[in-house]
């Protein structure tokens, strides 16, 4: 490995350093995004305190099982009400897509495939033999530039695809919030109904 690195030219070494820096930055970015998602989960989970506090205070919820069951029930209902229009829009979009292709294309989906292929970039990665392994040895060669289909068919395909992706992201956000609240309920229930001996004395 080391003799091979010594054999590398100065420009190759620079390229490797740049790639390493870009990779490290990407990994750090993923770490930052993950940590911010963790913080978001914590803040979203605290929402259950707003409605569980009074229920526990007035003795309407008396034990841990009841606590978790109530939070799950309420959050499931909230998840349905928050996502119902998003799911309905997904169904409408899929129905619109199929109705369009049924009416105008006689259920021939090759146009949709062409439209999606039009967005892709054609790359060929040159490979070289390295210690018996066939690995990437240089920058890729671009064989095809993206050429989106700019007609009605293309707009229908891209519009449907974009709508589906956006709606899925919104639904995933609600699912994330739902599980964050359930997790908070499971964590907090241990201390809510546990007898606490802090600042308590039984000495007479």
Partner 1 sequence: MLKLLNYFLNGLLYILRSPYTVFVYVLRFAYATLIFTGGEVISFFSYLGGKKYKNEDPLSIKLQQYLDQQTSSFQNQPQMSNNLGYAAMMQQVIHNPVQPSNNSAVPPGQPYPQQATPIQQINVTPVHLDEPQSRGDKS
**Where along the sequence are the contacts to partner 1 (CB under 8 A)?**
24, 26-32, 34-35, 51, 54-55, 58, 60-61, 70, 73-74, 76-81, 83-84, 87, 168, 171-172, 174-175, 178-179
CB 195 to partner 1: min, Å: 24
Which residue's CB is nearer to partner 1, number 53 or number 109? 53
CB 159 to partner 1: min, Å: 22
Which residue's CB is nearer to partner 1, number 48 or number 115? 48
Which residue's CB is nearer to partner 1, number 90 or number 111? 90
Q: DSSP for the chain?
A: -HHHHHHS-HHHHHHHHHHHHHHHHHHHHHHHHHHHHHHHHHHHHTHHHHHHHHHHHTTS--SHHHHHHHHHHHHHHHHHHHHHHHHHHHHHHHHHHHHHHHHHSTT-THHHHHHHHTT--EEE--EEEETTEEEE-SPPEEEE------SHHHHHHHHHHHHHHHHHHHHHHHHHHHHHHHHHHHHHHHHHSS---TT-----
Which residue's CB is nearer to partner 1, number 27 or number 142? 27
CB 176 to partner 1: min, Å: 8
CB 86 to partner 1: min, Å: 9
């Amino acid at each position: 490995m080391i003799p091979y690195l010594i054999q590398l030219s100065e420009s190759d070494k620079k390229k490797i350093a740049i790639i390493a820096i870009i990779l490290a930055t990407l990994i750090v970015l993923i770490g930052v995004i993950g940590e911010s998602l963790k913080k978001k989960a914590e803040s979203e989970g605290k929402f259950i305190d707003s409605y569980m506090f009074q229920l526990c205070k007035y003795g309407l919820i008396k034990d841990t099982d009841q606590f978790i069951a109530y939070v799950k029930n309420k959050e499931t209902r909230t998840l349905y009400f928050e996502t119902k229009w998003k799911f309905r829009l997904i169904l409408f979009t899929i129905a619109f897509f199929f109705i369009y292709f049924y009416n105008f294309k006689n259920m021939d989906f090759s146009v949709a495939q062409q439209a999606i292929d039009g967005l892709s970039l054609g790359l060929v990665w040159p490979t070289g033999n390295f210690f018996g392994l066939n690995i990437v040895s240089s920058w890729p060669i671009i064989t095809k530039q993206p050429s989106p289909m700019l007609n009605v068919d293309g707009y229908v395909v891209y519009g449907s695809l974009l709508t589906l992706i956006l709606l899925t992201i919104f639904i995933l956000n609600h699912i994330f919030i739902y599980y964050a609240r359930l997790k908070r309920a499971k964590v907090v229930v241990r201390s809510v109904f546990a007898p606490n001996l802090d600042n308590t004395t039984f000495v007479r």
